[in-house]
Structure 1
Amino acid sequence: MPPFGKRRTLKPPPVVIGSLDGFANGRLHGWVCDFLDQGESAYIEVHWRGTLLMRLRANLARHDVNAIGVAGDHGYRFRLPILPPLARGDLTLMAEIRGTFHPIALGALEDPIFAFFSASPEAAPLERCERLWGANQVRETVSSQTYHDVIYLPFTAGILLDHDPRWGLYTGDGHLIPEAAYRRGEALHLVGQSERIDIDGGAIGDAPFDTMIYGGPLLAHYGHLLLTTLARCWAIDGAMPVLFHALPAVQDHEAGHVLELFRYAGLENRSVSFDRPTRIKRVVVPEPALYEQHSIWTHYATPMAAIGRAIAPVAAPVPKKVYLSKSRLHSGVTGVEGEAFVDLKMRQAGFAVVHPESLGLAEQVNLFRKAELIVGTAGSAFHTLALVPHTAARRVVLTLSDFVNSNFLLLDRACGGEAAYVSITDDLILTESENFSTTYAIRNANHLADRIIAAAAA
C-alpha cells in the first residue's frame, strides 16, 4: 500500500501513431511511435503464418515526420525475405511499444505485396539483344609515328575532357596529331580537343626529356582505363618515359585500381604528365589498339593478356556461378533500383553475389580465370575480359536497354570466350536519381530474378 498522502500514477497505454508509407521490390518503409512518449523507439516485427521473420527498431531519421510535429527518429525501412505466394493473413506487421503489441495494417500495400510474391507468370524468356550502339569493326594493323617539336596542352582543371577543346598533342603550328587524338563512336568524333588550335608560344615550357612515348589520356573509370588508357601499351617497351594526359598528374594519382594496373603494365615510376603547356623535342605516338564503340586491332589481346598474367593468382576459392551486382553502388553512370532482391534470389539459386566495386583488381581477374558462369547487368566489370582473354567462364550480360554497347562485342572479337547479351528492358522503368546519370527501377525484382536464372541456365 502506498504511503499516506501519495497516489500511484499509472502510465496511460500507448497512443500509436505512424504510417506504412510504401513497398517496392521487397522493401517496406514507414514510421511508428507512441505519441505520449516520443523519446522512445518502437520495434517492428514481421510475422509469416505466425512465425517471426524479423524484428528491428524504428529509429531511422524522418525529417518529414519531424516537420509535422513528431519529435525523434521513428522511421523504419527493411527488405522482406523470399516468400512463397501469399494468402490473406499470411503476412502480419506488429509494432511493439512498452511491451504491448499493436498491429500495423497493410492497407493499400497488401495487393502490391501479394503481386510481388505471386508465382512468376508464364512470360517469354529474356530476348537476345541484337541491336548495336556503335560500330563493331576489326583492324588488321596499327602503327606509330614519330613527331618533332610537339606541343602538349594539359587537361583544363574543372572542365570535363569531353567539353575541353584545349587539351591534346599538337604540332608546332597547332594541328592535332592524328594518332594522339581521342576518338570514339561510329563516326569517330573527337572527345574534347580541337583539330587545330592557336598556340601561344610565350606560355610554353620545355619538357625535361628529349624523347617520350605517348600513352594517351589517363581515365580513372575502370572500364575506360582498360579500353582506352591501356590501348597504346602494345608499343610501350620501357625504352622511353611515357607521357599521359592526367588530372591529377599521373605521378600524383592515388586511385587504387589505376596504381595497380600501371604497376602490372610496367608503367609505374616511368610515367609523367604536365600541368602546363609543354614543348617536347620528339614524341613517338602509337595508334590506339581500340577505339571505343568503333574498332579493335586483331592482336589487341596480346599485350593485355601480358598485363593480366602479371597479376598473381588469388588463393581464395572462386564459386562456379557468380552474379555481378550493382545493388551497393552508390553513384555512377547507371543505377538499378530493386536489384538487392534479385541478389537474394540469385543466392537461393546457387550464385555467389559479388559487388565488383568492393573487389581488388586481382580478385576481379580471379573470377574471370576460375568461374564457370558470370551473370550481371552490363557494366565495366565485364571489361576485365581484356586481362583474361579466352576465359572459360560463360558470360550472360543483361543489357538495360534494347541495344548493346559495341565495346563489349569489340572485346569479344579480340578476346574470345562465350557471351550472351539479353535485354531486361521490359522489366524496367526509367526513373530519376541524383547519384546516377541514368536510373532504372525494376518493376518486379522477384519475377525478373526468375527470368534471369532461366536465361543463365539456357
Structure 2
Amino acid sequence: MFRKRRTAEPPPVVIGSLDGFANGRLHGWICDFLHQGESAYVEVHWRGTMLMRLRASLARHDVNAIGVAGDHGYCFWLPALPPLARGDLTLTAEIRGTFHPIALGALEDQILAFFAPGPAAASLDRCRQLWGTNQERETVSSRTYHDVIYLPFTAGILLDHDPRWGLYTGDGYLIPEAAYRRGADLALVGQSERIEIDGETVDDAPFETMIYGGPLLAHYGHFLVTTLARCWAIDGSLPVLFHSVPAVQDHAASYIVELLRHAGLENRSFSFDRPTRIRRVVVPEASFYELHSVWTHYATAMSAIGRNVAPVAACVPKKVYLSKSRLHAGVNGVEGEAFVDLRMRQAGFTVIHPETLGLAAQVNIFRKAELIVGTAGSAFHTLALVPHTSARRVMLTLGESLNSNFLLLDRVCGGRADYFTIKDELTRSESENFSMTHVIKDANRLADRIIATVS
C-alpha cells in the first residue's frame, strides 16, 4: 500500500509597508501574499517587553487598489516612553505561526526624536488678541408686535446663507428684537431687513399669542449662548416660538430637550415649517450677542436653568483635561491630541471627552473640579450653567485670537480663567469632517508646555 507524501507548506511571502509615524501613531499594513484572506498580528516590543499586540485587520483601500485582497492595515498609539536608543523599539509580525521582524527604517529617527529629552519646557504664551468685542449691555428690551409673519428656515440652506427666514411685520420689515445678529459689527446672520411677502400662502398660527425664543441652534455652544439668550423674559406662561429644523421635539441632541425642560419649556416650545401669521408675538431682545456683548440678566436666567440640572453622584476628579481626540466632526478638529491625553494622564489629570458625557455630567465637572484645562471650545460654555464656579479654567486657543464669547461669559459668570495660545505648535490641514483641522507638530513637546503652564 502506497501513501501519498505530504508536501511541506511553503513559507509565508510577507508583503507590506510601515507607512508613517506622527505624534505617537505608528501605522502600516502587512499580510502573507499566499493567504490574503487571513490576518497577521503585529507586536510592538520595548527593550524586549511586549507593549501591545493587535490584529492587522483595518481597511486599506489603497492597498486593495494595488491588487491585495482583504483588510490588512494596523495602527498603534505608542505609550509615553522614556528617551529611546536605537534598537529599543522593535516591531514583529506573526503570520501563520511564524514570526517576522518589521524594520523601522527611516522612521526610527523620527521616533527617537519624538521621545528624545529636550530642554525644560517653556510655558505657553498668553493669548492677547481678540476676535469680536467684549461689551456689557446696560439693558435689553421686549416689545409686543401684532400680525407677525413667521418665515421658517429654507430647507437645504444654512441659516447664515438664507435671506428668507425670521420674524417680519405685516409689511415685510424684520422685527429688530427678533434679528439674529453677531460679530463686532452686529451683522445679520442670514435674514433680510425687508422682504416681499405679497402673494405667499400664509397659514394662521394655532395660538393667538406667543413669545419668541429665537433660532434653535443644534450646536451645544451656540444653543447655550444664543438659543437660550431670551430666557430672561420667558417664564413658560406663553407658548414659545422657535425657528427650528427639525421640529423642536424632534432634535436628536439630548441636551436640547433636556435644557428646554430645565427652563420649563419642554412642552411649550413650537416651530412651524410654513410661512405663518401670528396675531400677537412678544419679542424679547437677546441678552447675549455672539462676539459682541452680554447683559447681566443672561447669567441670572442661565443660573436658574443650571440649578435645575440634578447633581450627579459620581466622583469628579480635581484636575480635568477636556480632549477633542475622539471628536469626529465639528468646527475645529485637532489631530495628534491622543498622545497629549496620555501625557496629561501621567501628570495626574483625568482626560474627559465632553461629547461622550450627558449634560448633568458636564455640569458636575464645572461644579466640583478644581482645574479644567483644554482647547477652547463649546465645552467651556457650560460655565453659563454654573456661574462663579470655583474651578480654575485654562483654555488653549488654536489660533492667534480668542473668541470674545469666552470673555463675555467671564464678564457675567465670573470665576477664574486664563487663555494661552498653542498656534505655534500647530499646522493646518484639510478635512471633510471639520471646518478647520489643526495638526499638532509634536504632541510630546506640546504636552510638556501645557503641563509647565498649568503647574
Say if 2:283 is the partner of 1:276: no
Alpha-carbon distance in 1 for matches of 2:217, 2:3:
80
Aligned letter for 1:230? L
Q: What is the Cα deviation at residue 5 of structure 1?
A: 4.6
What is aligned with 2:205? 207
Q: What is the Cα deviation at residue 79 of structure 1?
A: 0.7
1:35 to 30, 33, 36: 33
Preserved contact between residue 129 and residue 402 of structure 2 (Cα < 8 Å):
yes
Alpha-carbon distance in 2 for matches of 1:60, 1:271:
46
Alpha-carbon distance in 1 for matches of 2:3, 2:237:
98
Preserved contact between residue 131 and residue 402 of structure 1 (Cα < 8 Å):
yes
SS in 1 for 2:274: coil
1:316 to 314, 317, 337: 314
2:262 to 261, 264, 270: 264
Q: What is the Cα deviation at residue 190 of structure 1?
A: 0.1
What is aligned with 2:58? 60
Which aligned pairs between 1:4-403 and structure 2 lie closer than 5 A?
Answer: 4-200=2-198, 203-403=201-401
SS in 1 for 2:366: helix
Preserved contact between residue 93 and residue 105 of structure 1 (Cα < 8 Å):
yes
SS in 1 for 2:297: coil
Alpha-carbon distance in 2 for matches of 1:226, 1:417:
18
Preserved contact between residue 45 and residue 94 of structure 1 (Cα < 8 Å):
yes
Distance verdict in 2 for CA 1:123–1:69, change over 3 Å: same
Between stretches 53-62 and 200-209, larger displacement belongs to 200-209
Preserved contact between residue 19 and residue 32 of structure 1 (Cα < 8 Å):
yes
Preserved contact between residue 120 and residue 450 of structure 1 (Cα < 8 Å):
no
SS in 2 for 1:244: strand
Q: What is the Cα deviation at residue 126 of structure 1?
A: 0.4
Aligned letter for 2:223? L
Alpha-carbon distance in 2 for matches of 1:205, 1:45:
67
Aligned letter for 2:376? A
Between stretches 219-228 and 238-247, larger displacement belongs to 238-247
Alpha-carbon distance in 1 for matches of 2:149, 2:390:
45
Q: What is the Cα deviation at residue 201 of structure 1?
A: 5.4
**Structure 2: where are the runs of 5+ without partners?**
none
Preserved contact between residue 249 and residue 257 of structure 2 (Cα < 8 Å):
no
Alpha-carbon distance in 1 for matches of 2:236, 2:65:
64
Alpha-carbon distance in 1 for matches of 2:170, 2:59:
60
Preserved contact between residue 132 and residue 184 of structure 2 (Cα < 8 Å):
yes
**Structure 1: where are the runs of 5+ without partners?**
none
Alpha-carbon distance in 2 for matches of 1:387, 1:123:
35
Alpha-carbon distance in 1 for matches of 2:271, 2:400:
40
Aligned letter for 2:389? T
Alpha-carbon distance in 2 for matches of 1:82, 1:448:
13
Aligned letter for 1:423? T
User: Please, what TM-score do these two structures have when normalized by structure 2?
Assistant: 0.98
Alpha-carbon distance in 2 for matches of 1:422, 1:54:
35
Alpha-carbon distance in 2 for matches of 1:393, 1:80:
32
SS in 1 for 2:415: coil
Deviation per CA, 1:5-40, whole angstroms, max 9, x where unpaired? 522311122222211011111011111122222222
Alpha-carbon distance in 2 for matches of 1:244, 1:380:
22
Q: What is the Cα deviation at residue 123 of structure 1?
A: 4.5
Distance verdict in 2 for CA 1:201–1:207, change over 3 Å: farther
Aligned letter for 1:91? L
Deviation per CA, 1:370-426, whole angstroms, max 9, x where unpaired? 000000111100000000000001000010011100000000000000000100011
Distance verdict in 2 for CA 1:444–1:234, change over 3 Å: same
SS in 2 for 1:112: helix
Q: What is the Cα deviation at residue 204 of structure 1?
A: 1.3
Preserved contact between residue 121 and residue 448 of structure 2 (Cα < 8 Å):
no
SS in 2 for 1:6: coil
1:415 to 408, 413, 416: 413
Q: What is the Cα deviation at residue 268 of structure 1?
A: 0.8
Preserved contact between residue 214 and residue 286 of structure 1 (Cα < 8 Å):
yes
**Off by >4 Å, runs of 4+ in structure 1:** none
Aligned letter for 2:283? V
Preserved contact between residue 149 and residue 275 of structure 2 (Cα < 8 Å):
yes
Q: What is the Cα deviation at residue 202 of structure 1?
A: 5.0
Preserved contact between residue 251 and residue 273 of structure 1 (Cα < 8 Å):
no
Q: What is the Cα deviation at residue 298 of structure 1?
A: 2.2
Alpha-carbon distance in 1 for matches of 2:273, 2:266:
19
Aligned letter for 1:127? D
Distance verdict in 2 for CA 1:260–1:97, change over 3 Å: same
Deviation per CA, 1:136-185, whole angstroms, max 9, x where unpaired? 00012111111111111111111110011011111111111110000000
Alpha-carbon distance in 2 for matches of 1:53, 1:45:
8
SS in 2 for 1:110: helix
Alpha-carbon distance in 2 for matches of 1:258, 1:316:
23
User: Please, what TM-score do these two structures have when normalized by structure 1?
Assistant: 0.97
Cα RMSD for the two superposed structures: 1.2
Q: What is the Cα deviation at residue 220 of structure 1?
A: 1.0
SS in 1 for 2:380: helix
Alpha-carbon distance in 1 for matches of 2:309, 2:394:
25
